[in-house]
Structure 1
Amino acid sequence: MEYYLQGQWFEAEKRFIQLLRQNPRDVEARLMIATLFRHTRRWEEALRQLDQLERLEASQAWALEIQRERALIEQAKAETGLPESGPSPSAGEGSPPAGGVSFRQVAA
């Protein structure tokens, strides 16, 4: 969580991936990685995480946050006028390097 709060996206993503490997049903980690993907303009990945999240029974307690996150993603997409893109220049450390583990491999 500390990496996330500091905007250290690469380190935060690695930590969330670890958490989700240990427990794929970790609702909070899945919601946090969805917000991380929004912050780094990886909107389609964020939406996939929210879709997976909503399939979990425990996600009911987070319904408002999930709905809000979807709205923020749509707003960000509309403001940029762009489809999904990579990390923004101000996104801290960015995405994993080539050959690194992608979140898609973990979430599958």
Structure 2
Amino acid sequence: MITIYHNPRCGKSREGLSLLEKSGKEFEIIQYLKEVPTAEELKSILKLLGISPIELVRQKEEIWVQNFKGKTFSDEEIIKIMIENPILIERPIVINGKTATIGRPPEKILEIL
């Protein structure tokens, strides 16, 4: 099953969702601002993406700049920050089985379909 972690207010996320709809494949939408991933879910996503927690953070987001920029955090702390402030999670994230990608640009999603 394909899963998209989606924010309907984000243009790139909407473009990614559109690509999935056009693919004709079945997929699940998780609006991660409403259904915030758990620490275990985020760790699983990070493992599939092959990146560290800080690489999943939207570091230009106002919340990050005002509260966290320039400070040092452990991976566990960064995961906790993303759970407490899910707007900081990069989007869209698409998972297809054992592969995942961040849809920036959205065309990257096509590589894992």
Flag the structure with higher helix content: 1
TM-score (norm 2): 0.30
TM-score (norm 1): 0.30
Larger Rg: 2
Flag the structure with higher strand content: 2
